[in-house]
């Protein structure tokens, strides 16, 4: 029996990927939105009537909304974690540093949700909500922006690696062409250099994006500004990789065409 349980847990662990984590997040966000709609209604009724019954209803619906808000946040962070785990462009060291940012946040929201049960009044719940707001703004938001930038850099690394591998293969083919002496290769050689330069520039933009987001302090007034600057740099990096790739496609066309 214990063996079956162990196997079941292994199967569950194996099938939990980004898609599953994302589906969980979407589901919990939907539950939050429903709970929030009920909270808005109960709050309005309480502020209008101020009766004991309306107050109790407001307490219950607020508690439910805060709990589902914590769950939505922690499932969102879990989806983000799974995205990082499946990103082949990031090093294990980068991934571990990002987990070290996300994991304590997931624990924080789980603990915060467990604490909500002990709240006995609307004041207690407002205090609990403010605590979550403070943590979200000062810790979670900046962490999420960093993770998103690293995730994008990981993607760019994969793109650049494909072009770099293509250059290695093309150089081997060019050596063969030179040995055969049946085609001029000066234009091709220059184009390959141009492509390498474009990839180098792309790499520099990614490094600037990472440097910018890493130097953004968690106390920054608007943490999204550092994220947006990083995204602009990454968009430039994408442009350079596109240039390099177009050059390489043109090199292949040149090789395939007779002089």
Partner 1 sequence: MQNQIAVDIEKFKSFIKSLKERIKIALSKKQEAVPTATGAAQASTPIGANKNTRLLIIVGVVFIFAVILLIIASIVKGLRDKGVMAPGKATPVPVTGTIPDTSVSNPSKYATDEGVLKIEAALKKLDSDLNSADLRESNLRLPDLDFDVKFE
Report if residue 92 touches partner 1, rule: CB under 8 A: no
Report if residue 241 touches partner 1, rule: CB under 8 A: yes
Task: Return the residue of 45, 141, 197, 229 that touches partner 1, per CB under 8 A.
Answer: 141
Compute the residue count for the chain: 259
Report if residue 73 touches partner 1, rule: CB under 8 A: yes
Report if residue 220 touches partner 1, rule: CB under 8 A: no
**How many whole angstroms separate alpha carbon 222 and alpha carbon 212?**
14
Shortest separation between residue 120's beta carbon and partner 1, angstroms? 14
Following DSSP, what letter does each residue of 103-162 receive, concatenated?
Answer: HHHHHHHHHHHHHGGG--SHHHHHHHHHHHHHHIIIIIHHHHHHHHHHHHHHHHHHHHHH
Query: Taking CB under 8 A as the rule, which mask of x and - marks residues 186-215 in contact with partner 1?
Result: ------------------------------
Stretch that binds partner 1, among 3-11, 105-113, 137-145, 213-221 (CB under 8 A): 137-145
Q: Which is nearer to partner 1, 53 or 235 (CB)?
A: 235
Report if residue 62 touches partner 1, rule: CB under 8 A: yes
Residues 160-179 touching partner 1, rule: CB under 8 A, are 162-163, 165-166, 169-170, 172-173, 177
Shortest separation between residue 170's beta carbon and partner 1, angstroms? 6
Following DSSP, what letter does each residue of 149-197 receive, concatenated?
Answer: HHHHHHHHHHHHHHHHHHHHHHHHHHHHHHHHT-S--HHHHHHHHHHHH
Whether the Cβ atoms of residue 36 and residue 65 lie closer than 8 Å to each other: yes
């Amino acid at each position: 029996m214990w063996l079956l349980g162990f196997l079941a847990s292994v199967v569950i662990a194996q099938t939990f990927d980004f898609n599953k984590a994302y589906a969980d997040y979407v589901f919990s966000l939907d539950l939050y939105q429903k709970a929030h709609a009920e909270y808005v209604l109960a709050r309005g009724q309480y502020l209008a009537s101020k009766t004991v019954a309306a107050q109790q209803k407001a307490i219950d619906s607020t508690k439910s909304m805060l709990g589902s808000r914590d769950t939505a946040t922690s499932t969102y962070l879990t989806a983000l974690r799974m995205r990082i785990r499946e990103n082949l462009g990031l090093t294990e060291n980068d991934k571990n540093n990002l987990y070290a940012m996300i994991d304590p946040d997931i624990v924080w929201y789980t603990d915060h949700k467990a604490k909500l049960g002990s709240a006995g009044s609307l004041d207690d719940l407002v205090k609990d909500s403010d605590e979550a707001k403070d943590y979200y703004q000062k810790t979670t938001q900046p962490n999420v922006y960093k993770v998103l930038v690293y995730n994008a850099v990981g993607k760019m690394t994969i793109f650049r690696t494909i072009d770099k591998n293509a250059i290695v293969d093309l150089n081997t083919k060019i050596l063969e062409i030179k040995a055969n002496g049946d085609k001029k290769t000066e234009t091709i050689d220059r184009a390959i250099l141009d492509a390498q330069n474009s990839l180098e520039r792309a790499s520099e933009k990614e490094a600037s994006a990472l440097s910018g987001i890493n130097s953004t302090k968690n106390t920054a007034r608007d943490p999204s500004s550092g994220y947006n600057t990083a995204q602009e740099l990454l968009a430039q990096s994408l442009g350079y990789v596109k240039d390099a790739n177009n050059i390489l496609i043109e090199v292949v066309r040149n090789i395939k065409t007779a002089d």
